[in-house]
Structure 1
């Protein structure tokens, strides 16, 4: 068995000629969603399933992951915490604010937070960043996985409120949540154009790749934010 570190807190474990994406388990002997626990030289890792995680898929699509061990991250669309738990593993000295709209799903997320004190659960609508502005401080990275028609607008609004200047946005765009008829490539092009020009925030797009075969009709995007002088 061999292990290679890909970036802060993210590893590739090679076992039986298979490459497995993994994070170091912050809460040893406990899985979150039934994932495999792997012991390598007395250190426990959690298998990270890219088919259940847009961020995991972005890792395997060779995105430059800007999340570091001491980052502060705002995660929009946390659901029950599948991907958030892996972000928690990475943030050994950091913090993740996990925003979720569904009260039922939030109950599962809160249970996860009982085990992982570096997750701050927030029951809120990502369309309304002012509603959680009293909780969330400035962050280094925003990751968004929200299946709403106005995905670019949600990202820009939250970046204006919470993202440090020169901070990074990681965005998963789901084309079928925006337009069920138009081709995904056209939807992706239009959403990136909106993000870059329509909301008073300037972004430099660093990487953009479709997330197949892990997630059909999804685009992953990594961007750096700049604030217009007139917006400061």
Structure 2
């Protein structure tokens, strides 16, 4: 699988790693301006390592839900165009603001991803990508509510955490329910377990209906 424009594989500390060009954010190794995209700390990085066809292209306009302190969304902003980063908790949002100082295309929003109406006046419509990594119950519902921002040919890149949905159910049962709910507003293009890097997580690539 070819990597998105702006993402490369380079030898860092003696082994081949995914990298993007930008200032380090979370203590990741950096060589000649290229910073390691650590798949063990990033579900989207894990998708790329595992060969998931994300459809990411250089310059894409992105809405990122669950940005936390900026680990993954900083790599997205290194590669993509305008990147709106939604985070609910004030403490990681403060860190996210620091990350955005070095990235003019990264726009942090202290908002609740379950309530897209609270940031609809800020986030443009017709976006290329909706990236979601929100550890809450109802992850499929969040993706459906935020579908309004995607272009007709846009893509959802969703990382589903089974334990956030139901700590007692088998992960595969949780993932089946998530797929069923998502199908109310999306066509699923690919799903892949991320257990090699993130236990009990499922990657979903989908297109809005």
Range into which the TM-score falls when normalised by the shorter chain? over 0.9
The aligned counterpart of 2:140 is: 152
The aligned counterpart of 2:25 is: 32
Q: Which of 73, 81, 92 is the aligned partner of 2:70?
A: 81
- Please tell me whether Structure 1 or Structure 2 has the larger radius of gyration of its CA atoms: 1
User: In structure 1, what is the Cα distance between the partners aligned to 2:3 and 2:110?
Assistant: 32
Which structure 1 residue ranges, 4+ long, deviate > 4 Å from structure 2? none
Alpha-carbon shift at residue 6 of structure 1 (Å)? 2.1
Describe how 1:171-182 pairs up with structure 2 within 5 A: 171-182=158-169
The answer as to whether partners of 2:40 and 2:197 remain within 8 angstroms in 1 is yes
The aligned counterpart of 1:50 is: 39
SS of residue matched to 2:57:
coil
User: In structure 2, what is the Cα distance between the partners aligned to 1:16 and 1:105?
Assistant: 29
The aligned counterpart of 1:133 is: 120
**Equivalent pairs, count:** 208
Query: Which whole-Å deviations, capped at 9, do the CAs of 1:116-138 have from their partners, x for residues lacking one?
Result: 11101101000100000000001
SS of residue matched to 2:3:
strand
Q: Which of 54, 57, 60 is the aligned partner of 1:71?
A: 60
Alpha-carbon shift at residue 57 of structure 1 (Å)? 0.3
User: In structure 2, what is the Cα distance between the partners aligned to 1:168 and 1:71?
Assistant: 11
Stretch deviating more after TM superposition (46-55 or 15-24): 15-24
User: In structure 2, what is the Cα distance between the partners aligned to 1:214 and 1:105?
Assistant: 23
User: In structure 1, what is the Cα distance between the partners aligned to 2:4 and 2:76?
Assistant: 12
Alpha-carbon shift at residue 223 of structure 1 (Å)? 0.5
Identify unmatched segments of 5+ residues in structure 1. 227-232
User: In structure 1, what is the Cα distance between the partners aligned to 2:139 and 2:130?
Assistant: 13
Change (3 A) 1:36 1:165: same
| TM-score, normalisation: structure 2 | 0.95
Instruction: Kindly report the root-mean-square deviation, in angstroms, between the aligned alpha carbons of the 2 structures.
Output: 1.5
Query: Which whole-Å deviations, capped at 9, do the CAs of 1:68-94 have from their partners, x for residues lacking one?
Result: 111100000000001011011102xx1
